[in-house]
């Protein structure tokens, strides 16, 4: 059901499946809308039934996976409520339309429901929760490196008329995609000194990213192995 709802949402964004009314206004595809409503009703019934049989409703609502289940169905009902509020001036309707679009995009969070059935996703969540210090160090190292190399590349490229690295914010963007080894190629140094700085930026980015990743990977392996042993014991019981 999760996969069906995600596929329906993705297909609904394709122009070939768009439909229009007599006033050339875009409307929901009836087939995709049926699948959407059916999936939401299924998720809602599942959540309500599990809540009804839970020994403690408070503990049930405080569990992360149950919070995810609630957030996956909430945008549908909020969107329905917004669609029913069709009174007001054009500005309010425009703002309301933007809210509805955001709520509809929130349906992608349904993919997180797969964490209930995937030991890997649960291990990933436990790893991120237990690796705040390593992730914080990674963000700190990258922030320092980006600030330093953006200033250096601005200094060596500022006087070149062919370079697009004309401002510090643009240099921040270049340093970010360079240190994370993404390298879109939309901005790049053109002077010899700028290329030297760019090479150092890429090498330092590789080293900085690799430092805390090892600890995070080791924790993920530990959590995944532990989760697998727990699931094996539950299956045997």
Q: In sequence order, what DSSP letters do the residues of 33-93 get, joined into one string?
A: HHHHHHHHHHHHHHHHHHHHT-S-HHHHHHSHHHHHHHHHHHHHHHHHHHHH---S-HHHH
The alpha carbon of residue 34 and the mean position of all alpha carbons in its chain are separated, in whole angstroms, by 26
Do 40 and 74 fall within a single domain?
yes
Res 100: pLDDT: 62
The pLDDT of residue 40 is above 70: yes
Residues 115 and 123: their CA atoms lie apart, in Å, by 9
> DSSP character for 167?
S
Residues 159 and 8: their CA atoms lie apart, in Å, by 52
Res 200: pLDDT: 92
Do 165 and 74 fall within a single domain?
no
Return the sign of the alpha-carbon dihedral for residues 7, 117, 107, 184.
negative
Number of alpha carbons in the 13 Å side-chain half-sphere of residue 125: 13
Residue 202 lies in a domain: yes
Q: Higher confidence at residue 55 or residue 124?
A: 55
The chain-wide mean pLDDT, for the chain, equals: 79
Average pLDDT rounded to a whole number, residues 79-100: 61
Residues 226 and 66: their CA atoms lie apart, in Å, by 22
Residue 88 lies in a domain: yes
Residues 11 and 224: their CA atoms lie apart, in Å, by 33
CATH number at residue 10: 1.20.120.350
Residue 124 lies in a domain: no
Do 193 and 146 fall within a single domain?
yes
| Residue 11: domain span | 2-117
Do 143 and 42 fall within a single domain?
no
Q: Count of domains in the chain?
A: 2
Quick one: tokens of 105? 């995009």
Q: State pLDDT tens for residues 139-175.
A: 888 899 999 999 998 888 887 778 888 888 888 999 9
Res 92: pLDDT: 54
Tell me the pLDDT band of 34, cut-offs 50, 70 and 90: confident
Do 112 and 181 fall within a single domain?
no
Residue 137 lies in a domain: yes
Residues whose CB is less than 8 angstroms from the CB of residue 212 and which lie 6 or more positions away in sequence, other chains included: 134, 135, 137, 138, 141
Residues 203 and 210: their CA atoms lie apart, in Å, by 11
Residue where a domain terminates, one of 57, 88, 117: 117
Do 6 and 112 fall within a single domain?
yes
Q: State pLDDT tens for residues 203-212.
A: 998 888 887 7
> DSSP character for 172?
H
């Amino acid at each position: 059901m999760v996969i069906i709802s995600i596929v329906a949402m993705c297909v609904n964004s394709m122009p070939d499946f768009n439909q229009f009314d007599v006033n050339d206004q875009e409307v929901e595809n009836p087939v995709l809308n049926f699948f959407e409503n059916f999936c939401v009703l299924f998720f809602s019934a599942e959540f309500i039934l599990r809540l009804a049989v839970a020994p403690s409703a408070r503990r049930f609502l405080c569990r992360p996976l149950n919070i995810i289940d609630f957030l996956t169905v909430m945008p549908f009902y909020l969107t329905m409520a917004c669609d029913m509020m069709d009174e007001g001036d054009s500005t309010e309707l425009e703002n309301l339309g933007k809210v509805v679009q955001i709520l509809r995009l929130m349906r992608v969070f349904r993919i997180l429901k797969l964490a209930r059935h995937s030991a890997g996703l649960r291990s990933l969540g436990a790893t991120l929760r237990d690796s705040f210090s390593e992730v914080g160090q990674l963000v700190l190292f990258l922030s320092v490196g980006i600030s330093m190399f953006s200033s250096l590349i601005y200094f060596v490229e500022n006087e070149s008329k062919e370079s697009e690295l004309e401002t510090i914010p643009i240099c921040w963007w270049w340093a970010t995609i360079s240190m994370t080894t993404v390298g879109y190629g939309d901005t790049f140094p053109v002077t010899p000194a700028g290329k030297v700085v760019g090479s150092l930026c890429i090498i330092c980015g590789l080293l900085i990213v690799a430092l805390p990743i090892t600890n995070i990977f080791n924790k993920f392996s530990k959590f995944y192995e532990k989760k697998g042993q727990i699931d094996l014991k539950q299956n045997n019981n």
